[in-house]
Chains A and B, each alone.
Chain A
Amino acid sequence: MSPVAVVTLVLADDSAVYRAGMVRAIRAHPELELVAEVESGEQAIATIIEREPDVALLDLRMPGMDGIEVCQRLRECDPQPRTRCLLLSAYVSPEVVRRAFEAGASGFLSKSASRREICAEALRVGRGEVRSRSH
């Protein structure tokens, strides 16, 4: 039996409480591997370029560079970046979801999603099974 490929992740969220919750969830998931956690968009870009994770789990709203801008910057660096972006947002509107996908996001979830749902979506996005939804 071949081992299941692990999906690597970088997590970016400016809320320490939210980040800690997601870190616990990711670490408890056998098919996800957290390679770094950061608290700003600027740190996310630098870390993603350096570590090239399968998925960047990005809070939409962060001080300075937001999650959508991170997606845009990554695409500017490489039109087909190795890392796929999954955005998480406290507020979901059709306009914001549209902007996220135009910027190159592969998925979009509301922060009202549970840890299990977020991990499942990260796995799907990381494996290229893009099934985006806004929850």
Chain B
Amino acid sequence: MGEAGAPRITVYVADDHPVYREGIARAIKARPDFELVGEAADGREALEQIREKAPRIALLDINMPGLNGQEVLNALTRDGVETTVVFLSAFLDSEVVYSAIAGGAGGFLSKNARRDDICDSVAAVARGQVVLAPEIQAGLASEIQVREKSERPLLTPREREVLALTADGHSAPDIGRELHLSAATVKTHLSSLYEKLGVSDRAAAVAEAMRRGLLE
């Protein structure tokens, strides 16, 4: 039990660098509110043991032999294991951070962080927070913005008008009258919209546009 009588937070550690892994394991063991339930030097062993022990938190290096940290996270999610994964990495690449968080990681920490800060972050994740190293936050925000833009196809102003009227339930001839266009031209705009949205009919176009935030 922890100091306040609460159950201790069970933690599993995996890192292929022994000096680092031992340092983290030592820090975890030194905290009265944590219980270290195991450690591994490769992702495959980590996955097996996390499945078996189901710790509250798995503190994983991103780059490991066998399975990397992201692959371990994906396997745990697929198998419905309730352990929350927190990544530790020396390399804070925005794409990797994005994939980790999108994949359900509870945190992404820098290996340059102090041991106490890493432990405090693990405790915060166990309480349900998502913790990101300060130096990766701006990069992650940019990554989200870049992906958001690339997800939103560039619709022409006319296509936006056709889309909005289609969403209001107007037929192609109605839209043509409204916009002073021939029905054939409206259909050309609709075809272009379908292609940009990756759909094949009007209902699907509206649904997809709503999902992507292209319709108000």
Given contacts A20-B115, A61-B90, A90-B90, contact A15 B20 (CB under 8 A): yes
In the bound complex, do residue B18 and residue A16 qualify as a contact, i.e. CB atoms below 8 Å apart? no
User: What residues of chain B lie closer than 8 Å to A112, measured between beta carbons?
Assistant: 16-18, 41
In the complex, how many angstroms separate the beta carbon of B22 from the nearest chain A beta carbon? 6
Contact indicator A20/B23 (Cβ below 8 Å): yes
In the complex, residue of chain B having the shortest beta-carbon distance to the beta carbon of A20: B23
A16-B19 CB under 8 A given contacts A61-B90, A90-B63 = no
Q: Are A17 and B18 interface neighbours, CB within 8 A?
A: no
Smallest Cβ-Cβ distance to A90: which chain B residue: B90
C-alpha gap A14/B41 in the complex (Å): 22
Task: Evaluate contact between B20 and A16: CB separation under 8 angstroms.
Answer: no
The proximity string for B residues 9-22 relative to A, scoring 1 for CB distances below 8 Å and 0 otherwise, is 00000001111101
Tell me, in angstroms, the Cα distance from A16 to B112 when the chains sit together. 6
Interface centre among A22, A61, A90, A113 (most CB of B within 10 A): A90
* A90 B17 Cβ-Cβ under 8 A: yes
Which residues does chain B contribute within 8 Å of A91, judged by CB atoms? Answer: 63
For A20, the chain B residues whose CB sits under 8 A away are: 23, 115
Q: Which of these, B16, B20, B41, B63, contacts A17 with CB under 8 Å?
A: B20
Q: Which residues of B contact A90 (CB under 8 A)?
A: 17, 63, 90
Known: A25-B19, A111-B17, A111-B19. A17 touches B90 (CB 8 A): no
Whether a CB of chain A sits under 8 angstroms from the CB of B193 is no
Which one of A14, A17, A114 lies within 8 Å of B24 (CB-CB)? Answer: A17
B160 at the interface (CB under 8 A from A): no
In the bound complex, do residue B17 and residue A14 qualify as a contact, i.e. CB atoms below 8 Å apart?
no
Neighbouring B residues of A15 by C-beta, 8 Å? 20, 90, 111-112
Contact of A18 with B19 in the complex, beta carbons under 8 Å: yes
Interface check A21, CB cutoff 8 A: yes
Q: Is the CB of B19 within 8 A of A21?
A: yes
Enumerate chain A residues within 8 angstroms of B41, measured Cβ to Cβ. 112
Chain A stretch 14-39: residues in CB contact (< 8 A) with chain B: 14-18, 20-22, 25
**A21 contacts B20, CB within 8 Å?**
yes
- B residues near A118, Cβ cutoff 8 Å: 19
Could you say which of B63, B90, B114 contacts A16, with CB atoms under 8 Å apart? Answer: B114
- Given B20, B63, B118, which contacts A18 in the complex, CB threshold below 8 Å? B20
Q: How far does the Cβ of B15 sit from chain A's closest Cβ, in whole Å?
A: 10
Contact of A113 among B18, B26, B63 (CB under 8 A): B18
CA distance A14 to B20 in the complex (A): 12
Task: Name the CB-closest residue of A to B19.
Answer: A21
CA distance in complex: A115, B26 (Å): 15
| CB neighbours of B111 from chain A (8 A) | 15, 17-18
Task: Beyond A15-B90, A17-B23, A25-B19, list 18 extra A-B contacts (CB 8 Å).
Answer: A14-B112, A16-B113, A17-B20, A17-B24, A17-B27, A18-B19, A18-B23, A18-B111, A20-B115, A21-B20, A21-B26, A22-B19, A90-B17, A90-B90, A112-B17, A113-B18, A114-B18, A115-B18
Q: Which 5 A-B pairs have the closest CB atoms?
A: A21-B19, A21-B23, A17-B23, A111-B17, A114-B18
